[in-house]
Amino acid sequence: MTKIRLTLIRTTSFAALLLLAALASFGCKNDSGKDPKNPYGLEIINTSEAYLQSVAEDSCNVMVDLETYIPGVVLEIRYAGTNNFTGKQIYTAPKAYLRKPAADSLAKIQSLLAKEGLGIKVFDAYRPYAGTLYFYEVYPDTTFVAAPWKGSIHNRGVAIDLTLINLATGEELEMPTPFDEFSERASHSFMDLDSAVIANREKLRRVMTENGFTMYEHEWWHYNIKDRSRYSLMDISFEELSKK
C-alpha cells in the first residue's frame, strides 16, 4: 500500500515537474510576448504609417528638422557621439527634430537672441523611445532620466536640451554645469555660483519661458513646450523622419 502510494506520489511529482517545466518554457515565450521595444505597453507611434496618419489628423504633429528650419541654429547632438553620460553612441545621426509648434517657438527665440548677439546650441531634441529605455537601464534615477514606464517629453518631440552661445564666436555662455551633469548644481535653485553664471542661466530661462516653454527644475538645459500631453510618444528613427 505504502509502496503504491510512494510510486503514485513519485509519478505525480514527476508529472508535476514536467508540467512546471513546460509552463516555464511557455512562460518564457509569453514573457517575451511583451514587446521588448515597448515593455510597459505604452501608446507609442512606432511606424511611419501611424506617424503620417497622426499628421493627417493634426498638422501640429509634424516633426521638423531644426537644422534646416531655424537659420543659424547650432547642433551638438551628444547622443550621436560618445560624449554623453552613457559613454556610448545612442543615435544613428546628429539630428534634432521637434514638432512644428515647438520649432516655431524656438525659431522665435533664436531671432530674439540674435538681436543681442546670442544664439542657441541644441544638445538634444526629439529622442526615439528606444533611447529612453536604454538611458534608464544605464542610469535608473528618474530625477535625471525619464521613467520608461511613462516615457520622456523628448519622446513626444516637444522637449529640448540647449544652451546659449555667442553668435560671433560660437562660444557657449558659461552655465552652472556641463550638459547632463546629474548633480544639484544643475538645478535652477542652486545659487552658490558666480553672478555672471546665474545671469546666463536666467537669460536662457527667461527667453524660453516667455516664448512657450516651461523649465525643468532639476536641469538648467531642459525645456518642455507648454501643452506637451497632446503629443504622442514616438519611436521612429531619424532616418524614417527624414524620408518625409
CB 200 within 8 A of CB 173: yes
C-alpha distances (whole Å) from 40 to each of 130, 149, 170, 186 are 12, 5, 42, 29
Of the candidate residues 161, 231, 234, 235, the single one contacting Zn ion (CB under 5 A) = 161
Residue 222 CB, shortest distance to Zn ion, in Å, is 4
Residue with smaller CB distance to Zn ion, 8 or 229 = 229
Residue 17 CB, shortest distance to Zn ion, in Å, is 50
Residue 95 CB, shortest distance to Zn ion, in Å, is 16
Binding pattern to Zn ion, positions 115-154, x when CB under 5 A?
Answer: ----------------------------------------
Q: What is the spatial distance between Cα 116 and Cα 204, in angstroms, rounded to a whole number?
A: 13
Q: What is the spatial distance between Cα 69 and Cα 71, in angstroms, rounded to a whole number?
A: 6
In the block, cell 514587446 appears at 35
Binding pattern to Zn ion, positions 165-204, x when CB under 5 A?
Answer: ----------------------------------------
Residue 50 CB, shortest distance to Zn ion, in Å, is 24
3-state helix, strand, coil in the chain (%, to 5): 45, 15, 40
The three three-digit cell numbers of residue 97, written as one number:
527634430
Would you call 194 exposed, middle or buried from its count of C-beta atoms within 10 A (0-12, 13-18, 19+)?
Answer: exposed
- Secondary structure E strands in the chain: 44-45, 63-65, 74-75, 97-99, 118-124, 159-166, 213-216, 219-225, 233-234
Q: Is 78 an interacting residue with respect to Zn ion (CB under 5 A)?
A: no
Residue 180 CB, shortest distance to Zn ion, in Å, is 9
The three three-digit cell numbers of residue 151, written as one number:
516615457
Which amino acid, 43?
E
Q: With H, G, I as helix, E, B as strand and everything else as coil, classify residue 207.
A: helix
Task: Find the part of the chain contacting Zn ion (CB under 5 A) among 57-65, 105-113, 133-141, 219-227.
Answer: 219-227
CB atoms within 10 A of CB 127: 25
Residue 93 CB, shortest distance to Zn ion, in Å, is 18
Residue 130 CB, shortest distance to Zn ion, in Å, is 16
Which amino acid, 238?
F
Task: Find the part of the chain contacting Zn ion (CB under 5 A) among 65-73, 137-145, 197-205, 218-226.
Answer: 218-226
Residue whose beta carbon is closest to Zn ion: 222
Of the candidate residues 95, 127, 156, 222, the single one contacting Zn ion (CB under 5 A) = 222
Residue with smaller CB distance to Zn ion, 40 or 144 = 144
Residues that bind Zn ion (CB under 5 A): 161, 222
